[in-house]
């Protein structure tokens, strides 16, 4: 039976006009927790685990949601800040003061995996700690809160502005959860994967043939022949997947052009 994990992107976000968390060096905590959180979710999607994202509401909204879905684990992501000094730096993790042994065991693994990554950037290890934070106190399952560097520290902020660093950080967090929760890698059915690839290739070949038969050679000619309406719009979406209904509409228009020749 797969595990059910709830990931909390700390704070609400400035676009919601409410709590965006700590602010410093041109950065917003809520922006960073969303980037890191999405990276964690993306990496965990490769494993046999049911991933849910906590609502970005009040602290109670987050834990109430995790409790309602009976999550096996709750992870809250945050960026630290120091009001009194800009020299405070590093990474630390928290579990509740009265946390279970299971929470402690997972924290040990998670913290070690994250610091293994952080040490490449000479990040200071502030240690594994306990606290009476609301999201830890009110969650019914094993839970951990991570504070990923200090937004108030210039050197930490440089790392937090580095997309490559944030991507690696998210992967290290996910790896820690994989090890701590004993998650298994998804088994990819090569036959299904190959069949899907073959279908896409056949569709591409068919469209290419139909376009050739209909005398369609460019986006401009597609517009001229009434296959699409806006060439400029399509030129900006060439790398995106096409909705099936739109693809079928274009096929129908191409067939109509061919049949009318």
| Residue from 29, 92, 147, 243 carrying the catalytic annotation | 147
Contact 257, 228 (CB under 8 A): no
**C-alpha torsion sign, points 172, 175, 180, 181:** positive
Place of tokens 């050197």: 155
Calpha distance 98→224 (Å, rounded): 70
Report how far residue 188's alpha carbon sits from residue 88's, in angstroms, rounded to the nearest whole number.
44
Is 149 in contact with 77 (CB distance < 8 Å)?
A: no
200, with CB counted inside 10 A (0-12, 13-18, 19+), is: exposed
Q: What are the structure tokens assigned to 84, written together?
A: 């009194």
CB distance 91 to 125 below 8 Å = yes
What token pair was written down for 167? 């991507």
Q: Is the dihedral of CA 211, 216, 219, 224 positive or negative?
A: negative
Of 138, 131, 149, 158, whose CA–CA distance to 25 is shortest? 158
Whether residue 89 contacts residue 155, with contact meaning beta carbons closer than 8 Å, is answered with: yes
**Which residue has tokens 């704070």?**
11
CB 81 within 8 A of CB 30: no
Active site residue 167: no
The alpha carbon dihedral of 58, 61, 64, 65 has a sign of negative
As annotated, the active-site residues are 147
């Amino acid at each position: 039976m797969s595990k059910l994990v709830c990931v909390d992107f700390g704070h609400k976000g400035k676009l919601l006009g409410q709590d965006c968390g700590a602010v410093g060096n041109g950065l917003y905590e809520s922006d960073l927790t969303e980037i890191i959180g999405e990276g964690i979710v993306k990496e965990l999607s490769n494993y046999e685990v049911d991933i849910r994202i906590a609502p970005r509401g009040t602290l109670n909204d987050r834990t109430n949601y995790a409790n309602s879905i009976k999550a096996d684990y709750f992870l809250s992501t945050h960026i630290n800040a120091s009001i009194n000094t800009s020299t405070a730096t590093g990474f630390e993790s928290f579990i509740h003061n009265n946390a279970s042994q299971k929470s402690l065991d997972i924290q040990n693994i998670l913290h070690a995996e994250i610091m293994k990554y952080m040490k490449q950037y000479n990040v200071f290890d502030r240690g594994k700690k306990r606290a009476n934070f609301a999201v830890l106190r009110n969650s019914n399952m094993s839970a951990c809160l991570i504070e990923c560097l200090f937004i108030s520290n210039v050197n930490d902020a440089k790392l937090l502005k580095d997309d490559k660093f944030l991507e690696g950080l998210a992967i290290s967090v996910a790896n820690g959860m994989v090890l701590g929760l004993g998650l298994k890698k998804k088994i990819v059915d090569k036959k299904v994967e190959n069949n899907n690839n073959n279908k896409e290739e056949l569709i591409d070949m068919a469209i290419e043939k139909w376009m050739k038969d209909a005398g369609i050679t460019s986006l401009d000619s597609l517009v001229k022949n009434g296959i699409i309406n806006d060439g400029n719009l399509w030129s900006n979406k060439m790398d995106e997947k096409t909705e099936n209904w739109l693809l079928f509409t274009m096929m129908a228009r191409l067939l109509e052009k061919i049949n009318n020749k």
